[in-house]
Chain A
Amino acid sequence: AQSVAQPEDQVNVAEGNPLTVKCTYSVSGNPYLFWYVQYPNRGLQFLLKYITGDNLVKGSYGFEAEFNKSQTSFHLKKPSALVSDSALYFCAVSPNGFQKLVFGTGTRLLVSP
């Protein structure tokens, strides 16, 4: 069965510093990996995805993620955090491109001024 782990419930970072939100996955076949962001009482917004090709993918709002097949990881990164990046971040996997997404439990990012 496919699964996604986000080992940190919360990540704290100062504004201007780089941030990393971790995600590891377990899936049979080729994984399609996604990152979404959620602001309070709102739906999820798509940030970026990995399907195939270059292991470093770039997405919205300056975020990027690195796919590492040997470590089965897909960590979300940003070189310089903004206070407005504070939100709940979800990693998700879709095995072999089938659209039924499996989500991690989410990581709350807090960026302090």
Chain B
Amino acid sequence: DGGITQSPKYLFRKEGQNVTLSCEQNLNHDAMYWYRQDPGQGLRLIYYSQIVNDFQKGDIAEGYSVSREKKESFPLTVTSAQKNPTAFYLCASSSTVGGTEAFFGQGTRLTVV
């Protein structure tokens, strides 16, 4: 059963802590993305990767870090430098062929307590 899996579904973080959100896909996609969703703002791109061992900053990369050591995995770390981390985080993957749609995970809701 192919798809993209995010874990955990809910995550609580204390101020000053780093947390890592998991994203795994078995769709054999080269490209993977992390988006942040806030009410009324749509989706904003944090980081993306088009190939293993390479990734680029998106529009709101400050306070976040990623790695792409395996094709299937693209974990996102929310660092203590991220001033307002409470949000819904969505991971996606796609082929790098132009015009193909992206597939999304079910999301992780991160709350700072």
Contact = CB atoms under 8 A, between A and B. Distances in A.
Contacts of B101: 34, 46, 49
Chain A at the B interface: SS class: loop
A30 to B, nearest CB: 10
Nearest to B29: A99
A103 B88 CA distance: 15
A90 interface: yes
Interface in B23-49: 31, 33, 35, 40-45, 48
B96 to A, nearest CB: 6
B92 to A, nearest CB: 8
A98 interface: yes
**What 3 A-B pairs have minimum CB-CB distances, sorted nearest first?**
A97-B98, A43-B104, A105-B42
B6 to A, nearest CB: 8
Contacts of A104: 42
Interface of B: 4, 6, 31, 33, 35, 40-45, 48, 50, 58, 88, 90, 92, 94-96, 98-107, 109
A45 interface: yes
Contact of B99 (A94, A103, A106): A94
Nearest to B58: A100
A32 to B, nearest CB: 5
Interface residues of A, number: 25
Contacts of A32: 98-99
Nearest to B31: A99
A72 interface: no
A112 interface: no
Contacts of A44: 43, 90, 92, 104
Nearest to B93: A99
A12 interface: no
A100 B94 CA distance: 10
A17 interface: no
Contacts of B94: 99
A45 B104 contact: yes
B102 A46 contact: yes
B105 A105 contact: no
Contacts of B88: 41
